[in-house]
Amino acid sequence: MDVRETEEELMVHSYQRFGLVISRGSGDRLYDPSGKEYVDLMSGYGVAILGHGNRGVLEALERQFMEMDIAHASLYTPARAQFLREFSSILPWKSSMTYLGNSGTEAVEAAMKVAFKYTKRRKFIAMERSYHGKTMGSVSLTHSQKYRKSFSGLLYPEVTFVPFGDAEALRRVPDLDSYAAVFVEPVQGEGGVNIPPGEYLKEVREVCDDNGILMVTDEVQSGMGRTGKWWAHQHFGIVPDILTAGKGIGGGIPMSATSGRKEFMEVLEVGEQSSTTGGNPLACAAGTEVIRQLKGGLLERVDSIGRVLRDSLTETVGDHRLVKEVRGMGLMNAVELRIRFLPVLMSMIDGGAIPLYSGINTIRLLPPYVITRESVEIAASAMEGALERQVASAREGGA
Ligand SMILES: *Cc1c(COP(=O)(O)O)cnc(C)c1O
């Protein structure tokens, strides 16, 4: 069976494909069917935080599967209780409650419901260049026209977008006290690994406090240690009212969480939010193992190896004339180019590293937290080689 042809025939064409087949993964490496090896700088869009084939997750899943594989949340079950206890220990509130779902977009939808019901207000503020998911509520909070334009009549209209990082623009929004929530990614992911000015989130917090608006930090990408702290908002000295988590939270098993101060989260009554597989024992067991490994030293590693990666990129390509900026926090990093990302991304893949992208001219790197120094070097030289090939082909094209 030709994998690529079959997927092209039978799967919807709504994904940007990178053109290659990956059939095996181990640690921070991926392999195609011929055995060609790649450094994984995408980790399944930030999911494989513990790397591929993690023993601890495998053992947790196996144990859980034999013990109690499926239990809907109408039944209490130890795996869920244990996850909730562990998860609450890494949340920024003394007294919190959590809704468990399966994907990031669901987590955002649940946050919208809580804010709507708690405040009895129906309008939301979101940021330019934001990304919150693709179901109707979350895509309504997502800024990019690319994701919205075909569905304008379906989207929730009561969303005001303000420029990310500009507190004055937020203050100028008319009738602030008619808004239920501000949704903000503390570090924007899809939008290009955008780090806000130092005081920005404090100012957002202040506007929310002054107007009775709930502050929701969407940490689906930036959370679970990705920036070197449990939550990216912790770098900015604020505490949100609600936060969303997803991607790597379940060690590769689909899982997400919407958490907040108890007083907000407890507005949800029986039937108002649920999911058949949300909070299932397998996801919970894997999630507990993820937290255990992060607490066991992996979280600190994100900060140190993230610096190594950024230094290495800055050294090899920081001064390159096709590079505008190298930036990032922990293992959430980007190289903004002066040209379109696609040929550079494809050329990096040829050079043995698979990165992600943002917008039209940014290469994004979200490697597993177990990425080695050796892989960092391969990644940086794949980037350098890709840029050199661009320069060479531009020269040929010009000659
Ligand atoms: C990926 C992402 C989502 C959506 O998560 P899905 O699991 O794809 O639904 C939401 N918010 C942010 C910040 C994300 O990066």
Quick: pLDDT tens for 112-124.
999 999 999 999 9
> What pLDDT was estimated at residue 197?
97
CA of 34 to the centre of ligand 1 (A): 32
Which has the closest alpha carbon to 383: 357, 358, 363?
Answer: 363
At 49, the pLDDT band (50, 70, 90 cuts) reads very high
Q: Are strands 353-354 and 37-40 parallel, antiparallel or unpaired?
A: parallel
> What pLDDT was estimated at residue 396?
87
Q: Out of 16, 42, 45, 105, give the residue to mutate to test ligand 1, the one with the largest number of ligand atoms within 8 Å of its CB.
A: 105
Mean pLDDT on 24-34: 98
> What pLDDT was estimated at residue 66?
98
CA of 26 to the centre of ligand 1 (A): 24
CA of 19 to the centre of ligand 1 (A): 23
The mean pLDDT of the chain is 97
Quick: pLDDT tens for 151-193.
999 999 999 999 999 999 999 999 999 999 999 999 999 999 9
Burial of 387 per CB tally in 10 Å (0-12, 13-18, 19+): buried
Q: Out of 16, 221, 226, 231, give the residue to mutate to test ligand 1, the one with the largest number of ligand atoms within 8 Å of its CB.
A: 221
Closest ligand 1 atom number to CA of residue 254:
7
pLDDT at 366 exceeding the cut of 60:
yes
At 1, the pLDDT band (50, 70, 90 cuts) reads confident
Q: Report the C-alpha dihedral over residues 385, 390, 396, 399, rounded to 10 degrees.
A: -130
At 399, the pLDDT band (50, 70, 90 cuts) reads low
Q: Report the C-alpha dihedral over residues 105, 251, 47, 273, rounded to 10 degrees.
A: 0
Q: With beta carbons less than 8 A apart as the criterion, state whether 46 and 366 touch.
A: yes
Mean pLDDT on 227-236: 98
CA of 107 to the centre of ligand 1 (A): 9
Which two three-digit tokens encode residue 372?
């080695």
Closest ligand 1 atom number to CA of residue 105:
9
Closest Cα to atom 6 of ligand 1: 104
pLDDT at 39 exceeding the cut of 70:
yes
Which has the closest alpha carbon to 309: 385, 378, 250, 219?
Answer: 378
Mean pLDDT on 74-99: 98
Residues with beta carbon inside 6 Å of ligand 1? 103-105, 108, 131-133, 185, 189-190, 218, 220-221, 246-247
397 vs 193, which has greater pLDDT? 193
Q: Out of 129, 131, 136, give the residue to mutate to test ligand 1, the one with the largest number of ligand atoms within 8 Å of its CB.
A: 131
Q: Out of 112, 132, 242, 366, give the residue to mutate to test ligand 1, the one with the largest number of ligand atoms within 8 Å of its CB.
A: 132
Mean pLDDT on 78-107: 98
Mean pLDDT on 237-261: 98
Burial of 102 per CB tally in 10 Å (0-12, 13-18, 19+): buried
CA of 199 to the centre of ligand 1 (A): 25
CA of 327 to the centre of ligand 1 (A): 21
Mean pLDDT on 287-300: 98
Dump the DSSP string for 79-118: HHHHHHHHHHHTSS-SSEEEEEESSHHHHHHHHHHHHHHH
Mean pLDDT on 16-37: 97
pLDDT at 398 exceeding the cut of 80:
no
CA of 220 to the centre of ligand 1 (A): 5
CA of 330 to the centre of ligand 1 (A): 19
Closest Cα to atom 11 of ligand 1: 132
CA of 109 to the centre of ligand 1 (A): 11
Q: pTM of the full predicted structure? A: 0.97
> What pLDDT was estimated at residue 109?
98
CA of 131 to the centre of ligand 1 (A): 7
At 139, the pLDDT band (50, 70, 90 cuts) reads very high
Closest ligand 1 atom number to CA of residue 133:
4
At 394, the pLDDT band (50, 70, 90 cuts) reads confident
The contacts of residue 194 (CB under 8 Å, 6+ apart) are 129, 164, 165, 187, 188
All domains of the chain, ordered by start, with CATH?
Answer: 3-53+297-398 (3.90.1150.10), 55-293 (3.40.640.10)
pLDDT at 204 exceeding the cut of 60:
yes
